[in-house]
Structure 1
């Protein structure tokens, strides 16, 4: 090594070359330094000096002064080694090690050390430099070995308390670690030279760990007592007792550092955990309700995660959590669902359901099992709503409420899981069609009730949201044509009687149906709205016509709705006897309309008519909003104060049942404008009726509702029969369409094609009847060679 110092910036560059020659191992080396110095002619520069120092192998510095170097000359300076290197004292090794040994023992015994760390460190360095590293290492290992072996004796006493044993072990471990750190600081030079140069030799720290593992933890008795003591403390903590977590953390860290954590502790710990929670799960499933059990499982999982954070090794976490989940959840999935899911869903326990979903997500197939049970509950509960005839009045509202509740559970508790959403839809579609046609009919009537009440019960926004929910139920039903038949009948009443509260709501519902089922489904319904719009124009033209032509008519404001028969429901024809003034109006309108639309035929429907009559009572004049049948009855009392039932029947020619309901509404309802003799609810043949001049009411215009005959079984069957007939036509058309395209087709393939095309539920027997009907009518024929195959007849 050479060091070049410049005393002045004027000195010229000096080139130094050194050659070294080793004279033998451990001896001095001969160094030759060649100095090339180019100097200027300036005499001052000639007197400049260059200082060099050469460090010899024994660490002594020699200063060389190169004087009066001549320019452009090369000089060789030979540094001759001393004839013999300094010798160490004969007892140097023993004295130095004695000093180091005394320091190590002082550290191990926690006594005062007479020597400074710098002095000890330098001693180790000097011994290493004089080829004594191997001896130092072996001596240090011997000292550590003796100390650790001596410490094992205190742990062999069998009567030592477990907790005291653990504390003593922790103190020993902590002391050992502290001692090895201090010892290593003294022998650091040894650790960084000799140990690093010999890969097969353990570092001082690792050597300390190896010896501790060999004498303390490799002892079966000691290791067993340590592990059992740790398991005892953890079990106490699991039972709710307070334990020294610092002690647990330190001892478990000791096992980890000694690399025996998994073999000595983890397997036994997990086995104890499995046994504990297996017994606990069996016991608590018997004692606790499902919500309490789920809360306990969640608490246990949180506790085990906390243990991992505080003292367990992180590598234990996957196996530990899996063990807890397996024993407390996986083994009891079926029992949990059978015992508690229905109750949680019925009571809408959102918090508990959220926890259930979260916990089941931890175990294999947990969500799948929950989804299946969720689906089963919906089918079971929904069926009780649909099947029971006593719930028909409230069926639709209950279905809407049930759907809202299940949707909220899926969104809030099940994290909007698509699997659960699809399962919910499948379950609703399944149970709602368990009762053929009835849900479709009741949904149509529910819509009618809401569109009649309209904004009286809800705002436009609320009504719109309700219609959206109803459309969800509508999508589930298979008999959509049944819905259409009843919806059309109710829509006709709303339009004709003016009961629809919101035209916008009506058109919104129509738009939803069209979007869901297509234009073919709503074409007749749209035709009804078109008829009402055209009727308004016709009535305006008719009033203008009456103003231009003198007909000698009484002042009567008549409005007529022209209905296209194909769009509207079929109404039974009734021939009633009307006052001459009314008949004259009908004749005038008939002539007016036919003059505008030749070739058409008008058929009057008195059952759909309604009137506003002015009536004079003792308390004053009132306006009565009544049906046409009620009007015909009341007008008879203009010429008589008292009339018998038989007379009224003959004078009006109203059908018997309809007449009885009409009289009942006028004489037995809330607004009793007629008095009945004798008094009673039912109308008998011998009853007599008198105009009630004493009638009073706060309102000026009073609506007297016609007593609606509950939709009789016959009327419902008639509607269903019309649907059935329409289905026959659709089946026939589908069969002909398929056969026309395929020409020849087997029976099974034809049935399969029909199921794909038909949008309503149908039985194979019904399809077979329609096939036989078409064969009889020569639309198709059986193959002569294969009776199970059909041919299309062109």
Structure 2
């Protein structure tokens, strides 16, 4: 005390004393300050004075004595820790141990600043650890020397954790103390990871396993899925919160995986098996239980995605089991399924968009795989309810179609098909609803459900439809102006000028032909007229989109108005001079490609109206043909269907591609005789007709598809009367 008081008195004339180096007062001064710091009294310690003291001791070869003094102060501090903590190791002393270590580490850090010059000069020269490392090593030897195997501490931690789990509020579980123990082990272990795992991690996992297998087993044996889901979610969250921020991240991750397996995966599999998988939950509309499962599965990686996939499979299987073959039944089933999916999304899955996308895409694939072409069904509805009628469109019909849009796996192709449908009506001159409000509403429904701007045509889609209609209106004005100038022609023509790149039609299969002398002058006159009004533009003829109405006389007394395609007209006009032609001869005169020529001859020879007859020699005019009415129409085969039609060769053989046309012809033959038939009678009659004429077997699904195709092409109509579908022949 006298030396310390002397050094305190020397603090003012510090420079004078240092001129005459005296080692003893400096060591006494350093000991007093070290003792004060390790006693957690950090006030009144001048960094400048202590640094200067340590500096002078080091440069005057007093480094060993300074380090010895430093370690001696630490050993005296350890005596207090032994008496207060280690000799009576219990729950309270653990808290004091972690507190003592935190204070010790803070004191070591402060002293390390004073001993900075010692660490920089003396330590490298003597090749010894730094002062901080020596201090931590001493604490390490103290603690691990007292309990080398960690048996006492391990038993204490295990008892501590076990009693904490017995209490709902966790009164025994002091997380700050356990966090301090973990940090102390990590810092003092010096690579001894096994010691830390045995003392802290292993007791915790053993206690957790016993707890889950014991007390929590009551939750898992419950037969109620909702009770299990709520309890499991609460238990999972509580257990993660128990170790969050206490253990190292890799320990938390490992424990989370353990909980996933023991709390969620195993019992969930058991409960779903016991309750008939997800099927029973869906079939009984148990929205609350599904909602709780949805919340619980958030803890699993991709858990909700797997859950949604299973629901999609169940809904698809349920839909398939009761799916009818008739169009109206399919629509009803789809609308009911749409309502159920919306209810699940709203009441069970918090309107999760992933559920809507996954389930509807899965059901859409199921519909397509069972040959129930939902896209064709919707196109037929749009054609029948939105385009054909000139009356105001009922919003309920639009919403009904819009509800079915969600089941389309590829809505972009459907939108393209809608544009093609409108284009076909415009090109063929059929009636259509020029008020595009219905398309506008449908477009907004599709835009609302789309995932990205690139998924559909965007805002340009409706604009393209409007421009298509504008092309038709502009063409009508041009045609009217042309007729006002060219008054000498006996042929009344109407020309559609289509802007290239706008219409959803492919010109890849376009072809050219030689117009007959009756039609060539009118085309040349119109080309000159158009080029005078629009300089620099080139007019190209696309015969696959042209149509002609001509007056034909098949005998002396009978005249008939025949509506044909331009290609059909070019062929028929050649039979005014000669009643028989060969295929090669027709090809040379018209320059029509052979495959197009064969398809056109098929329409004229094997369709509803057989104006031509094909035999082994060639093609001739059917002198026995009698028009059924004063006006007939021969629909052409569209360009994108040409690859599927029958090819007519010199020996009149049928290729596999003509199967659809054979079935279509048989259906029309049967309906032409009977005028009205129900579905079962029509199927039976067509099978008999094909078996007798062609020795051909067909399936019900194939007949159903061909009947729907004829309905779309306006050969037949269908009406439901007393749960029976009646088909009527329109001509």
Q: TM-score, normalised by structure 2?
A: 0.47
Choose between structure 1 and 2: higher strand proportion. 1
Query: Whose Rg is larger?
Result: 1
Per the normalisation by structure 1, the TM-score is 0.44
